[in-house]
Chain A
Amino acid sequence: MATTDVNVADATPKSRKLPPEVNIFFVLIGIAVLFEVLGWIFQGQSFLGNFARLKIMILQVSVLGIISVGVTQIIITGGIDLSSGSLVAAVSMVSMSFAQTSEYGLDRVLYPALVDLPVIIPIIVGLVVGACAGFINGWLIAYTKIPPFIATLGMMVAARGFAKWYTQGKPISFPTDSFARIGEGMNPVIIFCIVAVIFHIAMKYTRYGKFTYALGANETAARVSGINVERQKVKIYVIAGTLSALAAIVVCSRGQTAQPGMGLMYELDAIAMAVIGGTSLAGGRGSIIGTAIGMVILGVILSGFTFLRLDAYYQEMMKGAIIVGAVIIDTYRQKKKV
């Protein structure tokens, strides 16, 4: 054919680029080393050498990590979820009310008829509540076309209200032993790992994952390619809601109590992990591995500040700056591509 000798400049092979996760991993190492050095300078001791500290650190963030796995998927579609923190409160309340034991007397339980239930009941009830909330988010976003920011903001306020209304503001405690065991020891970390592996595989090797990236990259093209955009969105928000519920169950089981004020600002930490981990707020880019690294980075920073005896208020201010910084980096990365 006459056209074989066309040489398009763009077809020149490019040097193999490393996946973005590698860069994020180096950031993690850099930060860890920084705290190590600062530790020797200011505290006269090792930061990384303290195994107990690392364990606490990872425990602190793994619940947020579970939420962030769902939030990452939402952000990859170009959406956002502000409701996860409030959902943690709402689901904790409901789930705990089905997990109470009669051991300390029936006057201390919310539903005296529903005590000492098998542990699967509060788990299922909790997950269903989360899934329903996610469904409402997803349905609103997909079918009424309102921005995800608004839909989930509404859910954030409403779910918090629901959590307070559920017991008129009173906490719920006294779970059965089996329920209390869910969040024991290193279980939160194990649960996070299982969730992360499942969704890493789903995002990489299944249709669900491919469609999620497609949605964030170009929604119109996704639709024209035969993807049911609305159904896909609903699925993603249902999954995110369910993961928030799972995090709620772990948290209230570990604390053996549920109260309406739980999960405050969790949504922002979950978003921060995803963004620090390289998920683009513009959609289409990001990964569960990145989010996992983002989670550890956030954990290292928070635990590092505590280790350096930095004021808690400082910590919050720094966290704010880090989130903004991560988004600036992402924006810069996008610009460079043009």
Chain B
Amino acid sequence: MLDGSAGSARDRFTGEFILEVDNVRKEFPGVVALDDVQLRIRPGSVHALMGENGAGKSTLMKIIAGIYSPDSGEVRFAGEKLSIKTPIDALNSGIAMIHQELNLMNTMNVAENVWIRREPKNAMGLIDHAQMRRQTQELFDELGISLDPTALVDDLTVAQKQMIEISKAVSYNSDVLIMDEPTSAITEKEVAQLFRIIRDLRAKGVGIVYITHKMDELFEIADELTVFRDGQYVGTVPSSDIDRDGVIKMMVGREITDMFPKVDCEIGEVALEVKGLSRGKEFQDVSFELRRGEILGLAGLVGSGRSEVAEAIFGVKPATSGEIIIDGTPATITEPAQAMSHGLAFLTEDRKESGCFLILDCLSNIQMALITREMTNKFGFVEQSRVNELVNDYVEKLRIKTPSLGEIVENLSGGNQQKLLIARWLLTNPKVLILDEPTRGIDVGAKSEIHRLITALAGQGVAILMISSEMPEVLGMSDRIMVMREGRVGGFLDRADADQVSVMQLAAN
């Protein structure tokens, strides 16, 4: 039923490490992405790979999976030198990978996605759909996933899609399973499920590489951890021998003591009021007030309608009913441009999909929102010298690291891209700033810089609505927390009363 070759290597193999990376070096034009790094994975263990963005984790994984080839050094699998040219080679030799991004075919059903390229055939050589459904059901039963194998992938939530990716990778029955931030899009319930699956695989002798930014997960699931910094190997330690601060220290080469530098700001009048906002099944009857200088955290499980509410307020997908009141005056917002004219700004959830112009330069990216409203003369010419002054100012203030403003944004690290998007909005001088996952997928250093910035903005009287899936962030940054549950407001919590438990109680049924 499964690939014949897979699963055999670890039965035969008796050495200490199933996967060994030795002195691997990889250069891209102008950047040394990996500088003589090493990584050793034991069979039957979970090995966390940590490091800030740009540390070289993804590059190494791409080398192991056959997407890049190393400039020097070697990768050994079950004691033998690995020569992998394509991802399919990797799968055939027993290495499966769950990528950070979803790679599913939305117009096909669940079973077809899981068994793609390995479809069971009948006597005629045609695809046996019944058998494929049965196989999928068996796989899901084994993994404890409740999903209909015949459901269309397009109709599923992001979390469900991620679970399909996970079961697909598991179905290869490989000896090494690489997971690149598998929990960034799934809810607590699925995380628990995933961890159960990981423990099962570990018991079966699979070597698991687990890339994550989340400390809690690290200590819950990993046996060992390796840290990279700026493309260099920092060290490997058993996770029982180190604590959270120790890991952070390894990652950044310094201690971060104040992750959440929240200071109390003076809270002023109501800047944004939302009354009975609804849109179809996505969210109903959402009402809240947001005051100047206040950070309102918006918590809730993925799929609870948080981002949808933000999109409605900003006019990306307008609400079908309800009122948006800005500075006491009702506003009609059906377009982002209208929201901007009312002093709103919106940092979207997905910086690649709806944030950055990846193939354009930094300057274009930063100035784009500003020049829709000002800094152009009556003939439409951009007053570039005035704009540049402002842009340079913010690049400096936000410590955006780029060789020049002409650099293509694709070449910046995630954290710098995110800061650049924040700069885009700050340039418009907003009264209300909506931040959707402001620190998702960026490294610890940039994260704390962004937190500091958010606090500083609140101090200047900006009203901030911050959506976040990271509990410590919501708890650490917010003056008040609004929790959403299945498209409705589950309740509000004051900073003093909020903790992990009280938020989860409102978020889950």
Contacts and interface: CB of A to CB of B under 8 A. Distances in A.
A223 B368 CA distance: 10
B411 A225 contact: no
A217 interface: yes
B399 to A, nearest CB: 7
Interface stretch (B267-275, B351-359, B495-503): B351-359
Contacts of B353: 218, 220-221
A337 B404 CA distance: 18
Given A14-B407, A225-B424, A337-B410, A284 B360 contact: yes
A9 B410 contact: no
Contact of A207 (B29, B257, B340, B376): B376
A217 to B, nearest CB: 4
A24 B225 CA distance: 49
Contact of A14 (B55, B355, B403, B446): B403
B402 to A, nearest CB: 7
A115 interface: no
Contacts of B404: 13
A222 interface: yes
A202 to B, nearest CB: 8
A226 interface: yes
Contacts, number: 147
A177 B163 CA distance: 74
A285 interface: yes
A322 B33 CA distance: 37
Contacts of B52: 6, 8
B207 interface: no
A210 B54 contact: no
Contact of A226 (B336, B360, B381, B413): B336
Contacts of A7: 230
Contacts of A23: none
A143 interface: no
Given A9-B230, A206-B379, A226 B54 contact: no
A149 B376 CA distance: 33
Q: Which of A3, A10, A217, A227: most chain B CB closer than 10 A?
A: A10
B83 interface: no
B354 A220 contact: yes
Contacts of A14: 29-31, 403, 407, 411
| Nearest 10 A/B pairs, CB to CB | A11-B401, A14-B30, A217-B357, A226-B372, A13-B403, A220-B354, A206-B380, A6-B445, A225-B369, A226-B337
18 contacts: A1-B449, A1-B452, A2-B254, A2-B256, A3-B399, A8-B52, A9-B56, A205-B384, A207-B371, A217-B357, A218-B355, A220-B353, A221-B353, A221-B354, A224-B348, A225-B369, A227-B368, A284-B360
Given A226-B340, A284-B360, 18 more contacts: A1-B452, A3-B448, A6-B401, A8-B54, A9-B31, A9-B32, A207-B371, A207-B376, A207-B380, A207-B382, A211-B372, A213-B360, A213-B364, A221-B354, A225-B336, A284-B359, A285-B359, A337-B359
